[in-house]
Amino acid sequence: MDKSLLGSLAAIVGEENARPLESLAPHTPFKIGGPADAFVSPRSVEEVSRVVCACEQASVPWRVIGCGSDLLVSDEGVEGVVIEVRDNLSAIRVDGTRIVAGAGATNAAVAEAACAAGLSGYEFACGIPGTVGGAAIMNAGAYDGEFSQVCACVTCVTPEGRIVEVPREEAEWSYRHSMFDAAHYVVVAATLELTLADSAGIKARMDELTAKREAKQPIDMPSAGSTFKRPEGHFAAALIDQAGLKGLSIGGAQVSTKHTGFVVNAGDATSADVQALIDEVQRRVLESSGVALEPEVRMWGREA
């Protein structure tokens, strides 16, 4: 990477927040991935805007990471700048029946804040790994709830560096989709519209959903969450199970024996191991059922 750009980024976010050749493995629950040319942690929305503008002016590719909970990063790493929005953009504010959360706030933290304020509607997300920013981008959902059902608007930084508000009606949400990725917008905050309810009831519902998740999902093993999207009319895990793929391994990657919808890092898996296993699962499920599975995991590499 051009040293002048790295210097410009350091001038914006501080020397300690602009690190060259930072390994991305510690920044994803999968614990897999090579380095980014530069890893930058802006301290404010305004700094996000300035970092994006600097990258655009230098014609250097940039990407955004929160918890990295749905990412598979290649062993070779990624080209350009990775902008981290987790730690410095995680404030949560309650305003009546609304919660304004920074993109880096975890879904669990937002659900807890809502519960404490006696606000219902975000219980479904209490166990979804990742951040509010990621939830907005992929319209995260679980247990009959989706982000689009409770979000009033999303604050973003455009590729031109403008800070804009995208109302619910313009977000183009559908199943695990929004307009933010295609528009290359950086989600920096979201405003949720919730409803007043009894905190004890909210907490009971959250405990119930947490127990279900812990009982059914391999949360004790490194993964990127659900590996495949739900195919129309089917469940990915059921198709994988029916194809006899439970426990199938390639290198250190394994189809979970607890929930076949998850590919896990069973021990020193490489990104290539995971990718090969995903490809094999897709091939064999298509062969056995005629259904083409589409990955829910996002894949980053130098070729992208």
User: How many CB atoms are closer than 10 A to CB 112?
Assistant: 17
The C-alpha atoms of residue 47 and residue 55 are separated, in whole angstroms, by 12
Catalytic residue among 43, 98, 168, 176: 176
Q: In the structure, how many helices (H) and strands (E) does the chain have?
A: 9, 18
Burial 13-46 (b: 16+ CB within 10 A, else e): beeebbbeebebbebbbbebbbbbbbbbbbeebe
Catalytic residue among 8, 148, 223, 226: 226
- Give catalytic status of residue 176 as yes or no: yes
CA 168 to chain centre: 19
- Give catalytic status of residue 172 as yes or no: no
- Give catalytic status of residue 205 as yes or no: no
Assign 162 to helix, strand or coil: coil
Q: Which residues contact 16 (CB under 8 A, 6 or more apart)?
A: none
User: So which residues are the catalytic ones?
Assistant: 176, 226, 296
